[in-house]
């Protein structure tokens, strides 16, 4: 049975890791029950290899539909087929991608950009296996059973598939950790090669077929196995109840693949590794894992030291017999490892099974995840979920299309022609009848559109952040400080393209504040205008704050979120009207600071003086700014602090 | 036929279950808003509500399932018929629990021109929408915080007036749309407008169970259900029947359940202490306490009932303090400890 379980893996046809290949096989066996998979990888040979593998394993004719990013509701859910409706004189529903993918898989392209809204629609179909469409004067319900394969190309931690959907997909797969250049070359070679082992692939597809047939007859997991899966999920800090359930289904699929009569512990263990481990948000408490085991991992450059769980067997261009031999070599190890605590006849106790499973799952944590967990960070799946929703706002002119609503063509709104025609369509017969016969004649076959039919487009725009640096260029330390600010601006700009952020710079000295750099995301432009900036003179803090406030308001009006970073020691000596004098200047500065507090703008005050200054603290308080004393600010430290402020 | 996971088989989540039962006992209290983490069975519980509701009597063939006993709440056609002294044929119907799917368009929600007849015969006729179907029943919105703004506006208005008005190009229809709003969502995915929050009678927060035993039980039952839904539902039928009977009995008891003045005072005191807006907090709190008492077979509302329902009846009605980040639930708990302490339970009950 053991050999059977591993057999499909033996046929290494594409440069895929063992676990990834297994995940594809399990998903092909039960695409609907397992919900699908999330592939977090750039478009490339690995992703393509996995998708090809999956497709090869699915029964011929299984629908695979690709849902492009930003697809409209009518494309996704279905809607009125305008042309057919008008020509046939009766409402005709145009099925959406969801009903087209019924019985198969839906590929979600650019999943990291998918909106919570799209995710919720997919999630609801995955949950209820029903599609309810209430659109365009039509009501339609049908049973829709499908799995979702999310192609997540996100790079940073806050670019992920919406968690609501992630939660419902059994497998989270990532390409092997950065391969060496040789491995890369091999991968590419393998990619170019025609898959020669069509026979092996064919066999595997047949095994999957047989497993699909067996799945329905398989009994469920026993109490111990369920308990072990739940305990593992708990130990790995997985809160949601779906992952253990998905793991249970994966275990059944694995048992079906192995041709077993019931789900064995090894299948449950495998499921824990494939489904639960990638979702870990914490390391299991030390008492549940073997301490030496985790110590091993810490030192190990490779994620796993255990022989059985190599996520990326060296991607030799696959000559099958050799590969098979390798796999067979590996099998004894595998059975040895997972059977270790037990004797074949005597089933491991609840605790033993739990420990085994937790150890197996934590052994397969990817090094990146492991490092993140060690550092006490939240794992990627739980981070960055909340922030997105609030920062988007609806817009009539710019952004991603959000569908059409009935409305007037005012304020620059754009007409949604299709939606307007759709709204007008049902009325045509009535309007023609109502019109004077002469008018009806001249109009002929034209479509009568009236004002009530007008639909306008709406767009959703992600608010980007504009960071405004306000730099004190007065006095002796000015030049130094200014250089730091410039460095920070450049650093922030260097990665702002990814986050679509902008940066602006105001410097103040003598009697006035100057806008040195208008809001920009161009690094080149910023560099050009930042060279050669003079320093020295008085500290017109009030004027600087006024200028910053005006700029911030402009930014907010243009639809961005301003973040203010003020670098000063807070010791104003030029009043608003340009006259010298410390007392009045401070008063004016505090007065100028208050509007910031009222507007609840996110502000950061960096105290650049050698010792923290009470005047700077008072100013920060008046502005309700975060106060950060940073006497030896370098560009790096500065940009770090700013990023924290932006996140807050 | 599609099976829904039986209500009786839901593990734990007592506050949520209690709230759903209460709104089944007294729909006038307003619906339930279930907020919580992913994978806690929010929508499972709400979808199971339909099976708990005893059938209702309605005018046969009326698209708004009008109640012949309440002519004042009937649609135009039924009212005219009733006024002329006709006896309308009635039928027993399941209480509608209507799903408002995400991506629904406005015309399907409020109702629109009957497309079929308009296209084929050129006849201007009204085809009732989801609001009509939900009349006298429940309207369920999953992921309520993702609902489009213009639909939210519409719902807020209709939920308050109990009437849906459609005016478009000579199509002028008004029909009753009294429904109980039930929603679920994940608070991480966006805030709800206070006006919409106010339309929900109760709001409950659900968390995933933290203890292994109940987690295992959840997974086990779910797995069994999915392998053989028919057999699973049958196994839970006896339990389900018990709950249905209890709801039915509580409905009968409801109007005989007394609300003593002391309880009214306590309820208002609590709401004042928490600074809830308007009087809806007080009223919902009392109605919920009465439904709770009826469910538990008590003859009158006591402090014990108020204490049970206060968090769900009030937590979504608090104004947010700018400087206070304390969660609403904690604030209700604190106010409860102060105004309705556990030990002084008897004081709210007059002799």
Of A130, A239, A389, the CB nearest to B37: A239
Poorest-confidence range of A89-93, A117-121, A153-157?
Answer: A153-157
> Are residue A535 and residue A420 in the same domain, yes or no?
no
> What's the token pair of residue B59?
């005018």
Question: Do residue A430 and residue A565 come from a single domain?
Answer: no
Residue A91 lies in a domain: yes
- Contact residues, A window 108-147, toward B, CB-based 8 Å cutoff: 116-117, 120-121, 123-124, 127-130, 132-139, 143
Highest-confidence segment of A182-191, A566-575, A602-611, B155-164: B155-164
A294 touches chain B (CB under 8 A): no
Of A71, A89, A73, A91, the closest CA to residue A81 belongs to A91
Gyration radius of chain B's alpha carbons: 21
Q: What is the mean pLDDT of chain A?
A: 74
CB-nearest partner of B222 from A116, A245, A426: A245
For residue A516, give how far its alpha carbon lies from the nearest alpha carbon of chain B (Å). Answer: 35
pLDDT at A379 over 50: no
Least confident residue range of A5-19, A258-272, A338-352: A5-19
- Least CB–CB distance from A89: residue in B104, B119, B208: B119
* A426 reaches B (C-beta below 8 A): yes
* Strand arrangement, sheet containing A465-472: A512-520, A502-509, A465-472, A561-568, A602-607, A626-629
pLDDT of res. A28? 93
Q: Is B319 among the residues known to form the active site?
A: no
Does some domain include residue A601?
yes
B interface test, pick of A81, A430, A460, A624 with most B CB neighbours within 10 Å: A430
Residue A617, in any domain of the structure: yes
Least CB–CB distance from A240: residue in B47, B101, B208: B208
- For the beta carbon of residue A588, count every other beta carbon within 10 angstroms: 23
Same domain for A473 and A604, yes or no, is yes
Among chain A residues, CA nearest to B224 = A220
Residue A500 belongs to domain spanning: 463-647
**Residue A284: inside a domain, yes or no?**
no
Mean pLDDT across A361-370: 67
pLDDT at B297 (0 to 100): 92
For B244, how many CA atoms within 13 A lie in the half-sphere containing its CB? Answer: 15
| List of chain A residues whose C-beta atoms are within 8 Å of the C-beta of residue B186 | 164
CB < 8 Å to A132, chain B: 99, 101
End-to-end CA distance of chain B: 53
Count the neighbouring beta carbons within 10 Å of the beta carbon of residue B283: 17
Which residues in chain B touch residue A421, judged by CB atoms under 8 angstroms apart? none
Name chain B contacts of A128, Cβ cutoff 8 Å. Answer: 47
Residues of chain A with Cβ-Cβ distance to B116 below 8 Å are 90-91
Give the residue, A106 or A369, on which the prediction is more confident: A106
For residues A410 and A509, state if they share a domain.
Answer: no
SS3 category, A465: strand
Q: Is the residue at A208 inside a domain?
A: no
pLDDT at A4 (0 to 100): 41
Q: Active-site residue among B215, B222, B235, B280?
A: B280
Taking CA–CA distances from A125, the nearest residue in chain B reads: B101
**Cβ contact, residue pair A164, B186, below 8 Å:** yes
Structure tokens at B37: 């983490």
- The structure tokens listed for A268 are 């449950």
Contact of B45 with B20, CB cutoff 8 Å: yes
A-B contacts (CB, under 8 Å): 165
Q: Which pLDDT score, from 0 to 100, does residue A445 have? A: 63
Are residues A456 and A467 both part of a single domain?
A: no
Please determine whether the domains at B7-55+94-206 and B261-348 fall in the same fold group of CATH: no
CB contact under 8 A, A76 and B103: yes
User: What is the rounded CA–CA span in Å between residue B238 and residue A269?
Assistant: 36
Per-residue pLDDT band for A466 (boundaries 50, 70, 90) equals confident
A304 assigned to some structural domain: no
Q: Is residue A383 part of a domain?
A: no
pLDDT confidence bin for A308, thresholds 50/70/90: very low
Contact A137 B113 (CB under 8 A): yes
Residues A468 and A457 in one domain: no
Contact (CB, 8 A) for A535 and A473: yes
Verify whether the Cβ–Cβ distance A405 to B227 is below 8 Å.
Answer: no
pLDDT for residue B88: 85
A447, A568: one domain: no
Question: Minimal CA–CA distance to B281: which of B248, B303, B309?
Answer: B309
Lowest mean pLDDT among A198-207, A384-393, B1-10: A384-393
Interface of A with B in 434-493 (CB under 8 A): 450, 452
Q: How many CB atoms lie within 10 A of CB B57?
A: 13
CATH label of the domain that carries residue A624:
3.40.50.410
Q: What is the pLDDT of residue A292?
A: 39
Q: Output the pTM of the full model.
A: 0.70
Cα A353 off chain centre by: 34
A468 and A455: one domain? Answer: no
Q: How far apart, in whole angstroms, are the C-alpha atoms of residue A99 and residue B45?
A: 26
Contact assignment for B119 to A120 by CB distance below 8 Å = no
Q: Are residues A572 and A611 in the same domain?
A: yes
- Same domain for A480 and A603? yes
- From A120, A137, A425, residue closest to B108, measured CB to CB: A137
**CB-CB under 8 Å, B115 with A138:** yes
Tens digits of pLDDT across chain B (351 residues): 578 889 999 988 899 999 999 998 998 888 899 988 777 778 888 888 888 888 888 998 899 999 988 888 888 888 888 888 888 889 998 889 999 988 888 888 998 888 778 877 878 888 899 999 999 999 999 888 888 888 888 898 898 888 999 887 677 888 999 999 999 988 777 678 778 888 899 999 888 888 899 999 999 999 899 888 999 999 999 998 999 999 999 999 998 999 999 999 999 999 988 888 778 889 999 999 999 999 999 999 999 999 999 999 988 888 754 334 457 788 888 888 888 887 544 444 443
- Give the CATH number, domain containing residue A114: 3.40.50.300
Q: Which residues of B touch A245 (CB under 8 A)?
A: 219, 222-223
Mutation target vs B (from A35, A73, A120; most B CBs, 10 A cutoff): A120
> A178 pLDDT band (50/70/90 cuts)?
low
Report the number of distinct structural domains present in chain A: 3
pLDDT class of A19 with cuts at 50, 70, 90: confident
- Domain boundaries defined on chain B: 7-55+94-206, 261-348
Facing residue for B118 by CB, picked from A229, A427, A450: A427
- For the ranges A178-187, A222-231, A512-521, B266-275, which has the lowest average pLDDT? A178-187
Query: pLDDT at position A376, please?
Result: 47
Are A635 and A576 within one domain? Answer: yes
Using an 8 Å CB-CB cutoff, list chain A residues near B212. 227, 230-231, 234
Report CA Rg, chain A: 31
Candidates 3.20.20.70, 1.10.8.80, 3.40.50.720, 3.30.70.100; correct CATH number of B261-348? 1.10.8.80
Best of A75, A123, A427, A458 to mutate (most B CBs within 10 Å, chain B) = A427
State the fold for domain B7-55+94-206. Answer: Rossmann fold (3.40.50)
Confidence of residue A191 (pLDDT cuts 50, 70, 90): low
The residue that leads in pLDDT, B320 or A563, is A563
pLDDT for residue A243 is more than 90: yes
Domain boundary among A407, A431, A461: A461
Return the higher-pLDDT residue of A298 and A29.
A29
Q: Does A220 touch chain B (CB under 8 A)?
A: yes
Measured between beta carbons, the chain B residues lying within 8 angstroms of A123 are 143
Same domain for A430 and A553, yes or no, is no
Q: Judge whether A163 is closer than 8 Å to chain B, CB to CB.
A: yes
Q: Please give the backbone phi and psi of residue B240, each rounded to the nearest 5 degrees, phi first.
A: -60, -40
């Amino acid at each position: 049975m053991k050999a059977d379980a591993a057999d499909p893996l033996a046929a290494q046809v594409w440069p895929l890791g063992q676990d990834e290949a297994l995940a594809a096989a399990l998903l092909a066996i039960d695409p609907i029950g397992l919900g699908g998979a999330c592939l977090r990888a750039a478009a490339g040979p690995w992703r393509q290899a996995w998708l090809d593998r999956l497709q090869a394993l699915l029964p011929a004719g299984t629908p695979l539909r690709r849902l492009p990013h930003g697809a409209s509701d009518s494309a996704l859910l279905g809607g009125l087929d305008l042309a057919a409706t008008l020509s046939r004189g009766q409402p005709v529903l145009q099925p959406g991608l969801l009903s087209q993918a019924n019985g198969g898989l839906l590929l979600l392209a650019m999943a990291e950009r998918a909106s919570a809204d799209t995710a919720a629609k997919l999630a609801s179909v995955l949950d209820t296996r029903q599609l309810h469409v209430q659109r365009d004067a039509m009501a339609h319900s049908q049973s829709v059973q499908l799995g979702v394969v999310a192609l997540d190309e996100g790079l940073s931690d806050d670019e992920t598939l919406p968690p609501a959907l992630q939660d419902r997909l059994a497998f989270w797969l990532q390409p092997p950790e950065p391969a060496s250049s040789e491995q890369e070359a091999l991968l590419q070679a393998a990619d170019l090669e025609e898959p020669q082992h069509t026979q092996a692939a064919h066999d595997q597809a047949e095994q999957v077929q047989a497993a699909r047939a067996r799945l329905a007859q398989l009994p469920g997991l026993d109490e111990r196995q369920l308990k072990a899966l739940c305990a593992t999920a708990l130990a790995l800090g997985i809160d949601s109840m779906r992952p253990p359930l998905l793991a249970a289904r994966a275990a059944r699929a694995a048992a079906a693949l192995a041709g077993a009569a019931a789900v064995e512990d090894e299948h449950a263990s495998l499921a824990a590794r494939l489904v639960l481990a990638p979702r870990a948000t914490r390391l299991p408490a030390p008492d549940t894992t073997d301490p030496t085991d985790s110590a091993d991992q810490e030192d190990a450059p490779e994620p796993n030291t255990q022989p059985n769980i190599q996520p990326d067997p060296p991607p030799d261009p696959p000559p099958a017999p050799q590969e098979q031999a390798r796999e067979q070599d590996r099998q004894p190890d595998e059975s040895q490892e997972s059977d270790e605590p037990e004797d074949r006849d005597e089933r491991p106790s609840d605790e033993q099974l739990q420990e085994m499973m937790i150890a197996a799952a934590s052994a397969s944590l990817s090094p990146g995840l492991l490092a993140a967990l060690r550092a006490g960070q939240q794992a990627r799946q739980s981070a960055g979920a909340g922030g997105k929703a609030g920062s988007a706002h609806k817009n009539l002119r710019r952004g991603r299309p959000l569908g059409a609503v009935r409305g007037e063509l005012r304020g620059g709104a754009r007409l949604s022609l299709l939606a307007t025609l759709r709204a007008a369509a049902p009325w045509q017969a009535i309007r023609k009848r109502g019109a004077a016969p002469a008018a009806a004649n001249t109009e002929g076959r034209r479509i009568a559109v009236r004002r009530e039919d007008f639909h306008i487009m709406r767009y959703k725009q992600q608010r980007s952040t504009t960071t405004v640096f306000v730099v004190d260029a007065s006095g002796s330390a000015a030049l130094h400080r200014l250089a730091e600010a410039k460095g920070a601006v450049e650093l922030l700009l260097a990665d702002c393209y990814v986050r679509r952020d902008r940066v602006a710079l105001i410097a103040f000295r003598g009697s006035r504040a100057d806008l040195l750099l208008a809001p920009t995301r161009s690094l080149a432009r910023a560099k050009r205008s930042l060279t050669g900036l003079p320093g020295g003179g008085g500290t017109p803090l009030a004027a600087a704050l006024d200028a910053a406030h005006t700029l911030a308001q402009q930014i907010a009006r243009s639809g961005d979120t301003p973040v203010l970073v003020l670098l000063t020691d807070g010791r104003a000596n030029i009043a608003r009207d340009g006259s010298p004098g410390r007392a009045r200047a401070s008063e004016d500065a505090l007065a100028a600071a208050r509007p910031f507090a009222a507007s609840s703008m996110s502000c950061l005050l960096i105290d650049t003086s050698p010792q923290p200054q009470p005047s700077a603290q008072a100013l920060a308080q008046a502005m309700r700014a975060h106060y950060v004393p940073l006497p030896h600010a370098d560009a790096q430290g500065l940009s770090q602090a700013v990023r924290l402020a932006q996140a807050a | 036929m599609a099976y829904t996971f039986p209500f009786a088989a839901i593990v734990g989540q007592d506050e949520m279950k209690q709230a759903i039962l209460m709104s089944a006992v007294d729909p006038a209290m307003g619906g339930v808003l279930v907020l919580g983490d992913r994978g806690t069975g929010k929508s499972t519980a709400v979808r199971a509500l339909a099976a708990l509701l005893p059938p209702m009597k309605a005018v046969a063939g009326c698209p708004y399932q009008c109640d012949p006993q309440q002519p004042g709440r009937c649609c135009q056609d039924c009212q005219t018929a009733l006024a002329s002294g006709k006896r309308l044929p009635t039928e027993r119907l399941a209480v509608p629990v209507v799903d408002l799917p995400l991506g629904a368009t406005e015309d399907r929600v409020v109702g629109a021109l009957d497309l079929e007849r308009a296209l084929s015969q050129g006849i201007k006729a009204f085809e009732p929408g989801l609001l009509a179907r939900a009349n006298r029943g429940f309207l369920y919105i999953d992921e309520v915080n993702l609902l489009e703004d213009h639909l939210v506006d519409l719902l807020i208005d209709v939920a308050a007036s109990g009437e849906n008005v459609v005016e478009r190009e000579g199509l002028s229809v008004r029909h009753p749309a009294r429904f109980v709003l039930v929603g679920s969502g994940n608070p991480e995915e966006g805030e709800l407008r206070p006006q919409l929050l106010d339309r929900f009678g109760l709001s409950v927060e659900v968390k995933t169970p933290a203890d292994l035993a109940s987690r295992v039980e959840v997974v086990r039952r779910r797995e069994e259900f999915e392998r053989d839904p028919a057999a699973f539902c049958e196994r839970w039928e006896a339990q389900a029947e018990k709950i249905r009977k209890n709801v039915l009995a509580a409905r009968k008891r409801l109007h005989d359940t007394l609300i003593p003045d002391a309880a009214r005072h306590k309820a208002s005191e609590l709401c004042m202490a928490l600074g809830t807006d308007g009087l809806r907090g007080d009223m919902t709190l009392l109605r919920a306490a009465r439904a709770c008492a009826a469910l538990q077979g008590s003859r009158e509302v006591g402090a014990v009932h108020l204490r049970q329902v206060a968090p769900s009846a009030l937590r979504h009605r608090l104004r947010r303090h700018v400087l206070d980040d304390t969660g609403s639930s904690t604030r209700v708990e604190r106010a409860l400890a102060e105004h309705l302490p556990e030990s002084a339970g008897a004081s709210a009950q007059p002799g």
